[in-house]
Structure 1
Amino acid sequence: MKLHSFGVGGLVLPGLAPGAAAQRSELMLFTEDRIRARGIDEVVVAYVCNPEVGWSAVVGYRCNGVDDLPVGDSMVTVPTAYFAHFTNDADDDDPAEDVWDQVELAEKEGRIERAYGGEVATIRSNGETDLFIRLV
């Protein structure tokens, strides 16, 4: 599916690579709680990779631009591109593991070719997760 460019504003977690372990980490859960305390139900996590420093995650919310950011938040732009969409429901024992396992299986079976950049997770308060994996 093609997604058009959008911004993700929030708090930066340096050194956090995409995957189930990152999504369940204590730091991620703590940061999600800080974002939800602002009244945001759907937390958006944008994973970005800089060749010089590695992966980082911006944990927050969709935004239209820097004017939407509270003081102290950062923003990344997810580019217009093609993404594979993976989802689960709240009935899964571990929604984060389920959705990331789907990605790994799809890649292993050759159904997707990941670009390894601009991956986005939307995590609802009940644990349901939508994952958008940028394709080459």
Structure 2
Amino acid sequence: MAFRLVARPTTIVAGLVAPGVEPGPESSASDLVTFLRERIREREPAGTDIWTVYLPDQRGVSNVVVGVPRAEVQDVPVGDVFVTVPAGAFAVFEASMTLPDRTEDAWSQVEEAVADGGVTRAGGPEFECLAADGNVEIFVSVLLR
């Protein structure tokens, strides 16, 4: 399990939303999230990274927005929702290819890092960045010690 820590600026992500989707490999590979990614990929230029942003609410339930980063709110297409991922510290996980599915592999590293205490989740937004070539990075909002 390897990860790097990064500081990210505030980012606007616009796209399609689904309620009650928990972060992890099961939801990432679900038919609904896959469908939303396909709709976004169809309308964006080739090579665009697709983000899957998991947003926890006050009840501990997460909603997901599948979309792309936008420079300004004015750039959000009509009909899309948008979220602002706040600036913060994130642990970034990439697939090590110990499992055949890249996303499942990266999420298993997240789970391992949390279980062994290497990462303490901050309870903020988490997101997957799926590149057009199939590479995936998972950004987990963390508390710095």
Scaled to the shorter chain, the TM-score interval is over 0.9
Identity %: 35
Counterpart for residue 3 of structure 2: none
> Gaps spanning 5+ residues in structure 1: where?
none
| TM-score under structure 2 length normalisation | 0.87
The CA deviation string for residues 53-95 of structure 1, in whole angstroms up to 9 with x for no partner, is 7210110000123211111101111111110011127895111
Is the CA contact 2:97–2:105 (under 8 Å) kept in the aligned structure 1? Answer: no
Secondary structure of the residue that 1:37 maps to in structure 2?
A: helix
Structure 1 contact 89–128 (Cα < 8 Å) conserved: no
Match of 2:118 in 1: 111
For residue 102 of structure 1, report the CA deviation from its aligned partner.
0.3
Matches of 2:142 and 2:98 in 1, distance apart?
Answer: 28
Structure 1 residue 72 corresponds to structure 2 residue 79:
yes
Q: Deviations over 1:13-56 (max 9, x none)?
A: 11111100011000011110000001243101111011147210
Q: Distance in 2 between matches of 1:90 and 1:60?
A: 25
Matched residue count: 136
Alignment of 1:57-68 (within 5 A): 57-68=64-75
